[in-house]
Amino acid sequence: MGTPLFDLTGKVAIVTGGNGGIGLGMARGLADAGAAIAVVGRNAAKSAAAVAELEQRGGKAIAVAADVADGKAVADLVARVKDELGRIDILVNNAGINIRKPPDALDIGEWDSVIATNLTSAFLCSQAAHPAMKEAGGGKIINIGSMMSIFGASFAPAYAASKGGIVQFTRSCSCACAWAADNIQVNAILPGWIDTDLTRRGRNEIAGLHERVLARTPAARWGDIGDLSGIAVFLASPASDFITGTAIPVDGGYSIMG
């Protein structure tokens, strides 16, 4: 029998923002495939609940409190995961926020906080995890983009800039002269409209958003966080060893609608 393509037994994954929403959906998939999970977030109660849930599913998980936009906190979190779980094979850069305002109303502090949380964090976490992945003989980095990696939105200038940046950062890390030589594959997922706390707030703030999403999504529904579990396992597993630098929409067809 050959090596199972989707088996993550013995692997260790860091999932930023793994305590809720899309991050939790991906953490469930990775844990079910056998990986131990470090759930990273700022809200300790939410992280503890996510760890309890992952353990209940039969997985091993720890909670690590950190602000992923803070370089020192990121260095500490990576050191702690290495110390407690022994290695780092998979990094999911998922933590993200949005501040919904048009470009003329967004102030520099708001711009900076969105870019730091959504984009700079991916750089900080990837750079910090890189030595452990190299030591392990390879690794998988999964960056979370958005439909706004492709499209613009009047209410999301910093968010769209951060998500466009995520795709270019993914490509740069994937280059043979960067981390491909270390057997690290780096890919992005571009989720469509997924029902989470983030988009529930968006639905409240943007009139008509709910109806527009339904009308444009061929699947005719909002995504569920479970819709992200499979792609996370795929991009974290040997099944994707020859895939790097891509940005894969998981959007019920939203991005192919004219």
Catalytic site residue from 111, 123, 155, 159:
159
Question: Tokens standing for 60?
Answer: 């091993």
Q: Does 46 bind ligand NDP (CB under 6 A)?
A: yes
CA 143/CA 254 separation, integer angstroms: 19
Q: Which of 124, 125, 141, 146 binds ligand NDP (CB under 6 A)?
A: 146
Minimum distance of ligand NDP from residue 191's CB (angstroms): 4
Stretch that binds ligand NDP, among 54-62, 89-97, 100-108, 175-183 (CB under 6 A): 89-97
CA 50/CA 61 separation, integer angstroms: 9
Residue where the block lists tokens 């780096």:
186
Minimum distance of ligand NDP from residue 151's CB (angstroms): 11
**3-class secondary structure, 189:** strand
Query: Torsion over CA of 44, 38, 54 and 59, rounded to 10 degrees?
Result: -150
Minimum distance of ligand NDP from residue 64's CB (angstroms): 10
Q: What is the number of other CB atoms lying within 10 angstroms of the CB of residue 258?
A: 3
Stretch that binds ligand NDP, among 5-13, 18-26, 55-63, 75-83 (CB under 6 A): 18-26
Decide if 159 is catalytic: yes
CA 79/CA 96 separation, integer angstroms: 22
Instruction: Name the site residues for ligand NDP (rule: CB under 6 A).
Output: 16-17, 19-23, 40-43, 46, 67-69, 94-97, 117-118, 144, 146, 191, 193-194, 196-199
